[in-house]
Structure 1
Amino acid sequence: MCMRRLLPAMFAVCAFGTAAAADRTLSYFPVGPIYEYRWKVLELALDHVRRDEGVAFGLRPFAEDVTQNRAVSLLQDGVIDVIALGTNDEREARMLPIKIDISRGIVGYRVFLISASDQARIARMDDEAFRKSLTFGLNSQWADVPVMRANGYTVLTSTDYESLFGMLAAHRFDALPRGIGEAAVELAARQEAYPQLTIERTRALFFPYPIYFWVNRQDAQLAARIERGLRAALADGSLRTLFEAHHAAMIEELGRSHRRVVRLDNPLLPPGSAEIDTRWWWR
Protein backbone atom coordinates (compact mmCIF):
# COMPACT_ATOMS: atom_id res chain seq x y z
CA MET A 1 0.00 0.00 0.00
CA CYS A 2 1.46 3.41 -0.93
CA MET A 3 1.78 5.54 2.21
CA ARG A 4 4.60 8.00 1.51
CA ARG A 5 2.40 11.07 1.80
CA LEU A 6 1.32 10.05 5.30
CA LEU A 7 4.72 9.27 6.82
CA PRO A 8 5.29 11.12 10.06
CA ALA A 9 8.64 12.75 10.62
CA MET A 10 9.71 9.98 12.98
CA PHE A 11 9.89 7.56 10.06
CA ALA A 12 12.33 9.71 8.10
CA VAL A 13 15.20 8.33 10.21
CA CYS A 14 15.89 5.05 11.93
CA ALA A 15 12.65 4.65 13.84
CA PHE A 16 13.66 2.06 16.43
CA GLY A 17 17.14 1.59 17.76
CA THR A 18 20.31 3.43 16.85
CA ALA A 19 21.59 2.39 13.45
CA ALA A 20 25.16 3.45 14.22
CA ALA A 21 25.35 1.08 17.22
CA ALA A 22 23.71 -1.88 15.49
CA ASP A 23 25.37 -5.04 14.26
CA ARG A 24 22.92 -4.93 11.37
CA THR A 25 20.32 -2.39 10.24
CA LEU A 26 17.13 -3.80 8.76
CA SER A 27 15.10 -2.00 6.13
CA TYR A 28 11.38 -2.61 6.63
CA PHE A 29 8.08 -2.26 4.77
CA PRO A 30 5.27 -1.10 4.89
CA VAL A 31 5.56 2.25 6.65
CA GLY A 32 2.96 4.67 7.96
CA PRO A 33 0.72 5.38 10.96
CA ILE A 34 -1.48 2.31 10.52
CA TYR A 35 1.58 0.05 10.54
CA GLU A 36 3.29 1.51 13.60
CA TYR A 37 2.26 -1.38 15.86
CA ARG A 38 3.89 -3.97 13.58
CA TRP A 39 7.30 -2.33 13.89
CA LYS A 40 6.93 -1.88 17.63
CA VAL A 41 6.46 -5.66 17.75
CA LEU A 42 9.63 -6.20 15.72
CA GLU A 43 11.50 -3.76 17.95
CA LEU A 44 10.32 -5.71 21.00
CA ALA A 45 11.33 -9.07 19.49
CA LEU A 46 14.77 -7.77 18.50
CA ASP A 47 15.27 -6.26 21.95
CA HIS A 48 14.83 -9.77 23.36
CA VAL A 49 17.41 -11.00 20.83
CA ARG A 50 19.83 -8.29 21.94
CA ARG A 51 19.41 -9.17 25.62
CA ASP A 52 19.48 -12.94 25.13
CA GLU A 53 22.04 -13.28 22.34
CA GLY A 54 24.02 -10.03 22.37
CA VAL A 55 23.15 -9.17 18.75
CA ALA A 56 21.85 -5.64 18.14
CA PHE A 57 19.66 -4.60 15.22
CA GLY A 58 18.69 -1.16 13.99
CA LEU A 59 15.55 -0.51 11.97
CA ARG A 60 15.18 1.79 9.00
CA PRO A 61 11.92 2.42 7.10
CA PHE A 62 11.83 1.78 3.38
CA ALA A 63 9.93 4.93 2.48
CA GLU A 64 9.79 4.75 -1.31
CA ASP A 65 6.32 4.76 -2.81
CA VAL A 66 5.96 1.12 -3.93
CA THR A 67 3.16 -1.43 -4.08
CA GLN A 68 3.11 -4.53 -1.92
CA ASN A 69 4.02 -6.72 -4.89
CA ARG A 70 6.98 -4.48 -5.73
CA ALA A 71 8.11 -4.59 -2.10
CA VAL A 72 8.13 -8.39 -2.21
CA SER A 73 10.39 -8.25 -5.27
CA LEU A 74 12.68 -5.79 -3.49
CA LEU A 75 12.89 -8.12 -0.50
CA GLN A 76 13.87 -10.95 -2.82
CA ASP A 77 16.59 -8.67 -4.26
CA GLY A 78 17.92 -7.81 -0.80
CA VAL A 79 16.85 -4.15 -0.88
CA ILE A 80 14.25 -4.64 1.87
CA ASP A 81 15.02 -6.93 4.81
CA VAL A 82 11.70 -7.40 6.60
CA ILE A 83 8.08 -7.12 5.46
CA ALA A 84 5.02 -7.34 7.71
CA LEU A 85 1.99 -8.44 5.67
CA GLY A 86 -0.65 -11.14 5.54
CA THR A 87 -0.14 -14.53 4.01
CA ASN A 88 -1.03 -16.24 0.75
CA ASP A 89 0.45 -19.01 -1.40
CA GLU A 90 2.48 -16.67 -3.60
CA ARG A 91 4.12 -14.90 -0.69
CA GLU A 92 4.97 -18.19 1.00
CA ALA A 93 6.66 -19.32 -2.23
CA ARG A 94 8.65 -16.10 -2.63
CA MET A 95 9.58 -15.22 0.96
CA LEU A 96 10.34 -16.90 4.28
CA PRO A 97 7.58 -16.32 6.86
CA ILE A 98 7.86 -16.30 10.62
CA LYS A 99 4.52 -17.98 11.27
CA ILE A 100 3.43 -16.15 14.39
CA ASP A 101 0.38 -13.94 13.92
CA ILE A 102 1.57 -10.61 15.30
CA SER A 103 -1.89 -9.05 14.84
CA ARG A 104 -3.83 -11.68 16.85
CA GLY A 105 -6.43 -11.69 14.07
CA ILE A 106 -7.28 -8.02 14.40
CA VAL A 107 -6.53 -7.19 10.75
CA GLY A 108 -9.27 -9.58 9.65
CA TYR A 109 -11.93 -7.60 11.56
CA ARG A 110 -13.20 -5.10 9.00
CA VAL A 111 -15.41 -2.08 9.48
CA PHE A 112 -16.44 0.32 6.72
CA LEU A 113 -15.79 3.89 5.74
CA ILE A 114 -18.90 5.29 4.04
CA SER A 115 -20.51 8.59 3.13
CA ALA A 116 -22.36 9.92 6.15
CA SER A 117 -25.45 10.39 3.99
CA ASP A 118 -25.58 6.58 3.53
CA GLN A 119 -25.50 5.73 7.24
CA ALA A 120 -29.26 5.25 7.68
CA ARG A 121 -29.71 3.47 4.34
CA ILE A 122 -27.03 0.90 5.11
CA ALA A 123 -28.22 0.42 8.69
CA ARG A 124 -31.65 -0.65 7.41
CA MET A 125 -30.23 -3.45 5.25
CA ASP A 126 -30.21 -7.06 6.32
CA ASP A 127 -27.02 -9.03 5.75
CA GLU A 128 -28.15 -10.37 2.38
CA ALA A 129 -28.98 -6.90 1.05
CA PHE A 130 -25.68 -5.62 2.44
CA ARG A 131 -23.83 -8.27 0.46
CA LYS A 132 -25.82 -8.02 -2.77
CA SER A 133 -26.74 -4.33 -2.99
CA LEU A 134 -23.48 -2.58 -2.18
CA THR A 135 -20.21 -2.15 -4.07
CA PHE A 136 -17.02 -2.18 -2.00
CA GLY A 137 -13.87 -0.29 -2.96
CA LEU A 138 -10.48 -1.89 -2.41
CA ASN A 139 -6.87 -1.61 -3.45
CA SER A 140 -6.25 -4.30 -6.05
CA GLN A 141 -3.43 -5.86 -3.98
CA TRP A 142 -5.27 -6.08 -0.67
CA ALA A 143 -6.22 -9.45 0.79
CA ASP A 144 -9.87 -8.44 1.04
CA VAL A 145 -10.35 -8.58 -2.75
CA PRO A 146 -10.33 -12.37 -3.30
CA VAL A 147 -11.87 -12.99 0.13
CA MET A 148 -14.85 -10.73 -0.47
CA ARG A 149 -15.35 -11.86 -4.05
CA ALA A 150 -15.25 -15.51 -2.98
CA ASN A 151 -17.97 -14.73 -0.45
CA GLY A 152 -20.25 -13.05 -3.00
CA TYR A 153 -19.51 -9.35 -2.52
CA THR A 154 -19.12 -6.92 -5.43
CA VAL A 155 -15.71 -5.26 -5.44
CA LEU A 156 -14.34 -2.29 -7.39
CA THR A 157 -10.54 -1.99 -7.28
CA SER A 158 -7.94 0.71 -7.74
CA THR A 159 -4.17 0.40 -7.85
CA ASP A 160 -3.81 3.70 -5.94
CA TYR A 161 -4.56 3.58 -2.21
CA GLU A 162 -5.10 7.30 -1.79
CA SER A 163 -7.58 7.56 -4.66
CA LEU A 164 -9.98 5.21 -2.85
CA PHE A 165 -11.02 7.97 -0.44
CA GLY A 166 -11.86 10.37 -3.25
CA MET A 167 -13.72 7.63 -5.11
CA LEU A 168 -15.78 6.89 -1.99
CA ALA A 169 -16.55 10.58 -1.48
CA ALA A 170 -17.66 10.76 -5.14
CA HIS A 171 -19.95 7.71 -4.66
CA ARG A 172 -18.01 5.58 -7.13
CA PHE A 173 -18.65 2.77 -4.64
CA ASP A 174 -20.58 2.48 -1.37
CA ALA A 175 -18.14 1.36 1.29
CA LEU A 176 -14.40 1.03 1.91
CA PRO A 177 -13.54 -1.91 4.21
CA ARG A 178 -10.71 -1.17 6.63
CA GLY A 179 -9.22 -2.91 9.61
CA ILE A 180 -10.80 -1.81 12.86
CA GLY A 181 -7.44 -0.40 13.93
CA GLU A 182 -7.02 1.47 10.64
CA ALA A 183 -10.37 3.13 9.93
CA ALA A 184 -10.31 5.87 12.57
CA VAL A 185 -6.65 6.72 11.89
CA GLU A 186 -7.23 7.02 8.15
CA LEU A 187 -10.44 8.99 8.59
CA ALA A 188 -8.83 11.47 10.98
CA ALA A 189 -5.94 12.04 8.57
CA ARG A 190 -8.39 12.96 5.79
CA GLN A 191 -11.17 14.68 7.70
CA GLU A 192 -10.38 18.07 6.19
CA ALA A 193 -10.27 16.74 2.63
CA TYR A 194 -13.30 14.47 2.96
CA PRO A 195 -15.54 15.72 5.79
CA GLN A 196 -18.49 13.78 4.34
CA LEU A 197 -16.91 10.40 5.18
CA THR A 198 -17.58 8.50 8.40
CA ILE A 199 -17.43 5.00 9.89
CA GLU A 200 -20.46 2.76 9.42
CA ARG A 201 -21.91 1.82 12.82
CA THR A 202 -23.86 -1.44 12.43
CA ARG A 203 -21.71 -4.09 10.74
CA ALA A 204 -18.34 -5.73 10.55
CA LEU A 205 -16.79 -8.56 8.58
CA PHE A 206 -14.34 -11.03 10.05
CA PHE A 207 -12.11 -13.45 8.20
CA PRO A 208 -9.01 -15.30 9.41
CA TYR A 209 -5.94 -13.42 8.19
CA PRO A 210 -2.67 -13.73 10.11
CA ILE A 211 0.02 -11.07 9.74
CA TYR A 212 3.58 -12.38 9.64
CA PHE A 213 7.06 -10.96 9.44
CA TRP A 214 8.72 -12.08 6.20
CA VAL A 215 12.40 -12.18 5.23
CA ASN A 216 14.44 -13.33 2.26
CA ARG A 217 14.37 -17.11 1.84
CA GLN A 218 18.19 -17.13 2.13
CA ASP A 219 18.10 -15.29 5.46
CA ALA A 220 17.09 -18.19 7.71
CA GLN A 221 19.30 -16.91 10.56
CA LEU A 222 17.37 -13.64 10.71
CA ALA A 223 14.05 -15.50 10.58
CA ALA A 224 15.14 -17.73 13.46
CA ARG A 225 16.22 -14.76 15.56
CA ILE A 226 12.95 -12.91 14.97
CA GLU A 227 11.00 -16.05 15.88
CA ARG A 228 13.00 -16.54 19.08
CA GLY A 229 12.42 -12.91 20.02
CA LEU A 230 8.69 -13.15 19.37
CA ARG A 231 8.37 -16.34 21.40
CA ALA A 232 10.28 -14.74 24.27
CA ALA A 233 7.94 -11.72 24.16
CA LEU A 234 4.93 -14.03 24.21
CA ALA A 235 6.36 -16.02 27.11
CA ASP A 236 7.09 -13.04 29.36
CA GLY A 237 3.85 -11.22 28.53
CA SER A 238 5.50 -8.16 26.98
CA LEU A 239 3.90 -8.75 23.57
CA ARG A 240 0.42 -8.84 25.10
CA THR A 241 1.20 -5.69 27.10
CA LEU A 242 2.27 -3.92 23.90
CA PHE A 243 -0.77 -5.15 21.99
CA GLU A 244 -3.24 -4.04 24.64
CA ALA A 245 -1.58 -0.65 25.11
CA HIS A 246 -1.47 0.11 21.40
CA HIS A 247 -5.05 -1.03 20.76
CA ALA A 248 -6.62 0.17 24.02
CA ALA A 249 -8.99 2.70 22.44
CA MET A 250 -10.05 0.22 19.76
CA ILE A 251 -10.68 -2.55 22.30
CA GLU A 252 -12.76 -0.16 24.40
CA GLU A 253 -14.77 0.95 21.37
CA LEU A 254 -15.32 -2.64 20.30
CA GLY A 255 -16.70 -3.46 23.73
CA ARG A 256 -19.24 -0.64 23.41
CA SER A 257 -20.30 -1.38 19.86
CA HIS A 258 -23.14 -3.65 18.82
CA ARG A 259 -22.13 -4.46 15.27
CA ARG A 260 -23.43 -7.56 13.56
CA VAL A 261 -20.32 -9.50 12.59
CA VAL A 262 -20.45 -11.55 9.41
CA ARG A 263 -17.82 -14.28 9.31
CA LEU A 264 -16.26 -15.03 5.92
CA ASP A 265 -14.24 -17.95 4.63
CA ASN A 266 -10.71 -17.08 3.55
CA PRO A 267 -9.65 -19.05 0.46
CA LEU A 268 -6.18 -17.45 0.57
CA LEU A 269 -4.93 -19.28 3.64
CA PRO A 270 -2.17 -21.75 2.78
CA PRO A 271 -1.98 -25.06 4.64
CA GLY A 272 -0.20 -24.69 7.96
CA SER A 273 -1.20 -21.06 8.52
CA ALA A 274 -0.99 -19.76 12.08
CA GLU A 275 -4.08 -20.26 14.20
CA ILE A 276 -6.10 -17.11 14.83
CA ASP A 277 -6.47 -16.32 18.53
CA THR A 278 -8.59 -13.22 19.20
CA ARG A 279 -8.89 -13.56 22.97
CA TRP A 280 -6.67 -10.57 23.73
CA TRP A 281 -9.16 -8.19 22.14
CA TRP A 282 -12.44 -9.86 21.20
CA ARG A 283 -13.63 -13.36 22.07
Structure 2
Amino acid sequence: MTISSRNDSNVAFYRDLLQQALALSGYHTKINFIGNLSYLRQVNYLKHGKIDLIWRLGTHERDLAFKRVDIGLTNGMIGKRIFLIPKGDQWKFDRINKLTDFIKHKLTGGFGEKWFDIEIWKYNRLPYVEIPGDNNKIYPMLASKRRNIDYLSRGMNEIIGDARLYPDLEVEQRLLFIYQRDIYFYLGPSAIQYHSILEHSLRLAEKAGLIKTLIHKHWGDIGNLLQLDKRHRIHLQMPPEEELTK
Protein backbone atom coordinates (compact mmCIF):
# COMPACT_ATOMS: atom_id res chain seq x y z
CA MET A 1 0.00 0.00 0.00
CA THR A 2 1.42 3.39 -1.03
CA ILE A 3 1.11 6.44 1.23
CA SER A 4 2.52 9.93 1.62
CA SER A 5 2.33 12.66 4.24
CA ARG A 6 2.39 16.45 4.42
CA ASN A 7 5.25 16.46 6.96
CA ASP A 8 7.35 14.10 9.03
CA SER A 9 5.89 14.89 12.46
CA ASN A 10 3.11 12.27 12.61
CA VAL A 11 3.57 9.88 9.68
CA ALA A 12 5.07 7.17 11.90
CA PHE A 13 1.86 6.90 13.94
CA TYR A 14 -0.44 6.46 10.93
CA ARG A 15 1.92 4.04 9.19
CA ASP A 16 2.24 1.99 12.39
CA LEU A 17 -1.53 1.98 12.96
CA LEU A 18 -2.24 0.94 9.37
CA GLN A 19 0.23 -1.91 9.46
CA GLN A 20 -0.63 -3.22 12.92
CA ALA A 21 -4.41 -2.96 12.45
CA LEU A 22 -4.20 -4.99 9.25
CA ALA A 23 -2.00 -7.52 11.03
CA LEU A 24 -4.78 -8.04 13.59
CA SER A 25 -6.94 -9.24 10.69
CA GLY A 26 -4.20 -11.49 9.34
CA TYR A 27 -2.96 -9.17 6.58
CA HIS A 28 0.78 -8.48 6.51
CA THR A 29 1.05 -5.43 4.30
CA LYS A 30 4.11 -3.65 2.97
CA ILE A 31 3.75 0.12 3.35
CA ASN A 32 5.48 2.15 0.65
CA PHE A 33 6.04 5.71 1.89
CA ILE A 34 6.86 8.03 -1.02
CA GLY A 35 7.65 11.10 1.07
CA ASN A 36 5.99 14.41 1.86
CA LEU A 37 3.63 16.11 -0.58
CA SER A 38 1.54 19.26 -0.42
CA TYR A 39 -2.16 18.71 0.23
CA LEU A 40 -3.13 19.51 -3.38
CA ARG A 41 -0.53 17.08 -4.73
CA GLN A 42 -1.73 14.42 -2.32
CA VAL A 43 -5.29 14.81 -3.57
CA ASN A 44 -4.09 14.62 -7.18
CA TYR A 45 -2.01 11.52 -6.45
CA LEU A 46 -4.94 9.91 -4.64
CA LYS A 47 -7.33 10.56 -7.52
CA HIS A 48 -4.91 9.05 -10.03
CA GLY A 49 -3.87 6.01 -7.99
CA LYS A 50 -0.31 7.13 -7.25
CA ILE A 51 -1.09 6.76 -3.55
CA ASP A 52 -3.79 4.58 -2.00
CA LEU A 53 -4.95 6.58 0.98
CA ILE A 54 -4.58 9.78 2.96
CA TRP A 55 -5.46 10.65 6.56
CA ARG A 56 -7.50 13.81 7.03
CA LEU A 57 -10.18 15.43 9.13
CA GLY A 58 -13.62 14.16 8.23
CA THR A 59 -15.50 16.70 6.08
CA HIS A 60 -18.60 16.62 3.91
CA GLU A 61 -16.63 17.62 0.81
CA ARG A 62 -14.01 14.94 1.33
CA ASP A 63 -16.68 12.32 2.00
CA LEU A 64 -18.12 13.09 -1.44
CA ALA A 65 -14.74 12.89 -3.18
CA PHE A 66 -13.23 9.79 -1.54
CA LYS A 67 -14.20 6.69 0.42
CA ARG A 68 -13.93 7.23 4.17
CA VAL A 69 -12.98 4.41 6.53
CA ASP A 70 -15.34 5.45 9.29
CA ILE A 71 -13.19 4.76 12.35
CA GLY A 72 -11.65 7.78 14.11
CA LEU A 73 -7.88 7.50 14.39
CA THR A 74 -6.85 9.92 17.16
CA ASN A 75 -9.56 9.59 19.84
CA GLY A 76 -10.60 13.15 18.95
CA MET A 77 -7.18 14.66 19.73
CA ILE A 78 -7.15 16.64 16.49
CA GLY A 79 -10.19 18.61 17.72
CA LYS A 80 -8.38 19.77 20.85
CA ARG A 81 -6.55 22.83 19.51
CA ILE A 82 -3.47 24.37 21.11
CA PHE A 83 -1.56 27.35 19.79
CA LEU A 84 1.93 27.55 18.44
CA ILE A 85 3.24 31.06 19.15
CA PRO A 86 6.49 33.04 18.72
CA LYS A 87 8.90 32.63 21.61
CA GLY A 88 8.37 35.33 24.20
CA ASP A 89 4.75 36.04 23.24
CA GLN A 90 3.00 34.14 26.04
CA TRP A 91 2.10 37.46 27.67
CA LYS A 92 -0.36 38.15 24.82
CA PHE A 93 -2.48 35.19 25.93
CA ASP A 94 -2.23 35.45 29.71
CA ARG A 95 -5.46 37.47 30.07
CA ILE A 96 -7.44 35.74 27.34
CA ASN A 97 -10.42 33.80 28.70
CA LYS A 98 -13.15 33.91 26.03
CA LEU A 99 -13.61 34.29 22.29
CA THR A 100 -14.42 37.99 22.47
CA ASP A 101 -11.01 38.60 24.07
CA PHE A 102 -9.38 37.55 20.79
CA ILE A 103 -11.37 40.24 18.99
CA LYS A 104 -10.72 42.85 21.68
CA HIS A 105 -6.97 42.26 21.64
CA LYS A 106 -6.87 41.65 17.86
CA LEU A 107 -5.16 38.28 18.26
CA THR A 108 -5.04 36.77 14.79
CA GLY A 109 -4.67 33.13 13.77
CA GLY A 110 -2.70 32.14 10.68
CA PHE A 111 -3.92 29.40 8.34
CA GLY A 112 -2.82 27.87 5.10
CA GLU A 113 -5.02 28.15 2.04
CA LYS A 114 -8.43 26.47 2.63
CA TRP A 115 -7.38 24.94 5.97
CA PHE A 116 -10.21 23.28 7.85
CA ASP A 117 -10.07 25.71 10.77
CA ILE A 118 -10.83 28.72 8.57
CA GLU A 119 -14.59 28.09 8.38
CA ILE A 120 -14.72 27.47 12.13
CA TRP A 121 -12.82 30.67 12.93
CA LYS A 122 -15.05 32.60 10.52
CA TYR A 123 -18.20 31.11 12.06
CA ASN A 124 -17.01 32.07 15.56
CA ARG A 125 -16.00 35.55 14.34
CA LEU A 126 -12.37 35.08 15.29
CA PRO A 127 -9.70 37.14 13.50
CA TYR A 128 -7.57 35.14 11.06
CA VAL A 129 -5.33 35.43 8.02
CA GLU A 130 -5.36 32.93 5.16
CA ILE A 131 -1.97 32.54 3.49
CA PRO A 132 -1.84 31.02 -0.01
CA GLY A 133 0.93 28.77 -1.30
CA ASP A 134 3.27 26.46 0.57
CA ASN A 135 1.93 25.75 4.06
CA ASN A 136 5.43 25.44 5.51
CA LYS A 137 6.14 29.14 4.95
CA ILE A 138 3.57 30.05 7.62
CA TYR A 139 5.87 28.92 10.44
CA PRO A 140 8.74 31.35 9.70
CA MET A 141 6.15 34.07 9.04
CA LEU A 142 4.78 33.53 12.54
CA ALA A 143 8.25 33.46 14.08
CA SER A 144 9.22 36.73 12.36
CA LYS A 145 6.46 38.67 14.21
CA ARG A 146 6.17 40.88 11.13
CA ARG A 147 3.16 39.38 9.35
CA ASN A 148 0.30 40.23 11.75
CA ILE A 149 -0.06 36.59 12.80
CA ASP A 150 -0.16 35.82 16.52
CA TYR A 151 -0.61 32.04 16.56
CA LEU A 152 -1.20 28.84 14.63
CA SER A 153 -3.95 26.46 15.75
CA ARG A 154 -2.70 22.86 15.93
CA GLY A 155 -4.21 19.61 17.17
CA MET A 156 -2.80 18.37 20.47
CA ASN A 157 -1.25 15.47 18.55
CA GLU A 158 0.50 17.90 16.16
CA ILE A 159 1.71 20.68 18.42
CA ILE A 160 4.73 19.01 20.07
CA GLY A 161 6.17 17.76 16.78
CA ASP A 162 5.72 21.21 15.24
CA ALA A 163 7.41 22.91 18.19
CA ARG A 164 10.41 20.61 17.77
CA LEU A 165 10.64 21.35 14.06
CA TYR A 166 10.49 25.12 14.60
CA PRO A 167 12.66 26.15 17.58
CA ASP A 168 11.75 29.85 17.18
CA LEU A 169 8.19 28.94 18.19
CA GLU A 170 6.75 27.56 21.42
CA VAL A 171 3.57 26.00 22.79
CA GLU A 172 1.08 28.45 24.31
CA GLN A 173 0.54 27.45 27.96
CA ARG A 174 -3.01 28.47 29.01
CA LEU A 175 -5.69 27.83 26.42
CA LEU A 176 -7.45 24.89 24.83
CA PHE A 177 -9.88 25.38 21.95
CA ILE A 178 -12.22 22.43 21.46
CA TYR A 179 -14.38 21.22 18.60
CA GLN A 180 -15.70 17.73 17.89
CA ARG A 181 -13.68 16.18 15.08
CA ASP A 182 -11.36 13.29 14.27
CA ILE A 183 -9.04 12.11 11.53
CA TYR A 184 -9.95 9.26 9.19
CA PHE A 185 -8.34 7.27 6.42
CA TYR A 186 -9.68 8.20 2.99
CA LEU A 187 -9.23 5.75 0.13
CA GLY A 188 -8.66 6.59 -3.51
CA PRO A 189 -9.94 4.53 -6.48
CA SER A 190 -6.90 2.24 -6.33
CA ALA A 191 -7.79 1.06 -2.81
CA ILE A 192 -11.59 1.11 -2.61
CA GLN A 193 -11.64 -2.69 -2.71
CA TYR A 194 -9.83 -2.70 0.65
CA HIS A 195 -12.45 -0.57 2.41
CA SER A 196 -14.23 -3.38 4.27
CA ILE A 197 -10.90 -4.96 5.27
CA LEU A 198 -9.58 -1.68 6.66
CA GLU A 199 -12.81 -0.86 8.45
CA HIS A 200 -12.90 -4.30 10.08
CA SER A 201 -9.20 -4.09 10.98
CA LEU A 202 -9.49 -0.64 12.55
CA ARG A 203 -12.58 -1.67 14.48
CA LEU A 204 -10.58 -4.58 15.90
CA ALA A 205 -7.73 -2.18 16.69
CA GLU A 206 -10.13 0.12 18.53
CA LYS A 207 -11.67 -2.71 20.58
CA ALA A 208 -8.26 -4.24 21.37
CA GLY A 209 -6.91 -0.91 22.62
CA LEU A 210 -4.31 -0.74 19.84
CA ILE A 211 -5.17 2.85 18.88
CA LYS A 212 -4.74 3.97 22.49
CA THR A 213 -1.49 2.00 22.78
CA LEU A 214 -0.03 3.55 19.63
CA ILE A 215 -1.07 7.05 20.69
CA HIS A 216 0.95 6.52 23.88
CA LYS A 217 3.85 4.98 21.93
CA HIS A 218 4.16 7.88 19.50
CA TRP A 219 3.05 10.82 21.66
CA GLY A 220 3.62 9.62 25.21
CA ASP A 221 1.42 10.86 28.04
CA ILE A 222 0.49 13.83 25.92
CA GLY A 223 -2.43 14.98 28.06
CA ASN A 224 -0.17 15.49 31.07
CA LEU A 225 2.66 16.82 28.94
CA LEU A 226 0.40 19.57 27.60
CA GLN A 227 -1.33 19.99 31.00
CA LEU A 228 -4.79 19.75 29.46
CA ASP A 229 -6.51 19.65 32.87
CA LYS A 230 -5.04 23.04 33.79
CA ARG A 231 -5.90 24.80 30.54
CA HIS A 232 -8.79 27.21 30.14
CA ARG A 233 -11.23 25.45 27.79
CA ILE A 234 -13.05 27.37 25.07
CA HIS A 235 -15.61 25.43 23.03
CA LEU A 236 -16.04 26.50 19.44
CA GLN A 237 -19.36 26.41 17.62
CA MET A 238 -19.35 24.32 14.44
CA PRO A 239 -20.78 25.71 11.19
CA PRO A 240 -23.23 23.64 9.12
CA GLU A 241 -21.54 20.52 7.77
CA GLU A 242 -21.80 21.53 4.13
CA GLU A 243 -19.72 24.66 4.83
CA LEU A 244 -16.74 22.62 6.06
CA THR A 245 -14.24 21.80 3.34
CA LYS A 246 -10.74 20.79 4.46
TM-score grouping bracket, smaller chain normalisation:
0.7 to 0.9
Give the TM-score, by structure 2 length.
0.87
Matches within 5 A, 1:29-108: 29-49=5-25, 51=26, 55-65=27-37, 67-108=38-79
Residues in 2 aligned to 1:213 and 1:268: alpha-carbon distance in whole angstroms: 22
Mapping for residues 70-219 of structure 1, pairs under 5 Å: 70-127=41-98, 128-132=100-104, 133-158=106-131, 159-171=133-145, 172=147, 173-191=149-167, 194=168, 197-217=169-189, 219=191
Question: Taking structure 1 as reference, are residues 251 and 61 closer, same or farther at Cα in structure 2, changes over 3 Å only?
Answer: same
For 1:225, what is the secondary structure of its paired residue?
A: helix
TM-score (normalizing by structure 1)? 0.76
d(CA) in 1 for partners of 2:237, 2:210: 31
Count of residues in Structure 1 that have an aligned counterpart in Structure 2: 237
Q: For residue 11 of structure 1, what is the aligned residue in structure 2? A: none
Deviations 1:51-78 (A, max 9, x none): 2xxx43211113253x323312221211
My pick for the range that moved more, 199-208 or 121-130, is 121-130
Q: What percent identity do the matched residue pairs reach? A: 24
Cα gap change, 1:220/1:190 in structure 2, threshold over 3 Å: closer, same or farther?
closer
Instruction: In structure 1, give the amino acid aligned to 2:11.
Output: Y
> What SS does structure 2 have at the residue aligned with 1:79?
coil
- Cα deviation, residue 213, structure 1: 0.6
Runs of at least 5 residues in structure 1 that lack an aligned partner in the other structure: 1-24, 271-283
Quick one: structure 1 residues 108 and 115, their matched pair in 2 at CA, closer, same or farther if it must change by over 3 Å? same
Tell me the distance in 1 between the aligned counterparts of 2:75 and 2:186: 16
Corresponding residue number in structure 2 for 1:275: none
Aligned equivalent of 1:266: 238
Q: Which amino acid aligns with 1:170?
A: S
After superposition, give the CA deviation of every residue in 1:202-261 in whole Å (9 maximum; x if it has no partner): 111111122111112574321111111111112222232222333323122244651111
Report the Cα distance in structure 2 between the residues aligned to 1:121 and 1:148, rounded to whole angstroms: 19
Q: CA separation of 1:68/1:268 partners in 2, compared to 1, >3 Å: closer, same or farther?
A: farther
C-alpha distance in 1 between matches for 2:5 and 2:83 = 25
Q: Distance in 2 between matches of 1:255 and 1:267?
A: 28
Shift of 1:32: 1.4
Question: Contact conserved, 2:74 with 2:211, CA < 8 A, in 1?
Answer: no
CA distance in 2, matches of 1:257, 1:88: 28
Distance 1:63 1:35 in 2: 10
Q: Does 1:234 align with 2:206?
A: yes
| Alignment gaps of 5+ in structure 2 | none
What corresponds to 2:194 in structure 1?
Answer: 222
Work out the CA distance in 2 between the residues paired with 1:122 and 1:242: 32
Q: Which has the higher contact order (CA 8 A, sep 6+)?
A: 2
RMSD, aligned CA: 2.1
Secondary structure at the aligned position of 1:117 is classed as: coil
Tell me, what secondary structure is at the counterpart of 1:188?
Answer: helix
Is the 1:138–1:156 Cα contact (8 Å) retained in structure 2? yes
What SS is found at the alignment partner of 1:93?
helix
Q: Deviations over 1:114-142 (max 9, x none)?
A: 12332113212332212452111111232
